[in-house]
Amino acid sequence: MLTAWSRNYLDADFWNGFRAKSKLDASGCRIWQKGRNRKGYGQVRRDGKQQLAHRVALALVNGEIPDGLCVLHHCDVPACINTDHLFLGTNADNNRDMAQKGRGSQPKGEANGKSKLTAADIPYIRANPERRRR
């Protein structure tokens, strides 16, 4: 069922203009070619504010997205707006999907590339009487 927003904007000109800002790749992903956020998700201006392009694409095809639901990617390509690759889920579904696909978890300790200390440094620092707390 179309909502008021979808009825107003779901015309051939708007949809074709929206799709024209993307390019189909060999895997079937429709990659957003315009602005993206720092995580690689496409962005588009809607109702006077920035919106994620994949959310707008799904809303254009299926109607408004209910509050509290996320739009997830089967393909795991943040810039993809192919509605066949998108599905609705809760935040818990999104976290579960991320964990099952091996994304999102940062290695701990020395295994993290941003680590500045080694495991051997910690006892030395803790035992050093000259260390200062501020």
pLDDT at residue number 112? 79
Size (the chain), residues? 134
Each residue's pLDDT expressed in tens, for the chain with a length of 134 residues: 444 444 445 556 666 777 788 898 999 999 999 999 999 999 988 778 889 999 989 988 888 899 999 999 999 999 999 999 999 999 999 999 988 887 776 777 888 778 888 888 888 888 887 766 65
| 3-state class (DSSP) for residue 79 | coil
Write out the DSSP string of 46-57. ETTEEEEHHHHH
Find the helix packing angle between 53-62 and 12-19, rounded to 10°: 150
The amino acid that residue 91 corresponds to is N
CA neighbours closer than 13 Å in the CB half-sphere of residue 24: 6
- What is the rounded CA–CA span in Å between residue 6 and residue 9? 5
Question: Structural domain boundaries of the chain?
Answer: 4-106
Judge whether 24 and 32 are in contact, CB under 8 Å. no
Q: 4-106 — its CATH code?
A: 3.90.75
Say if pTM beats, i.e. exceeds, 0.75.
no
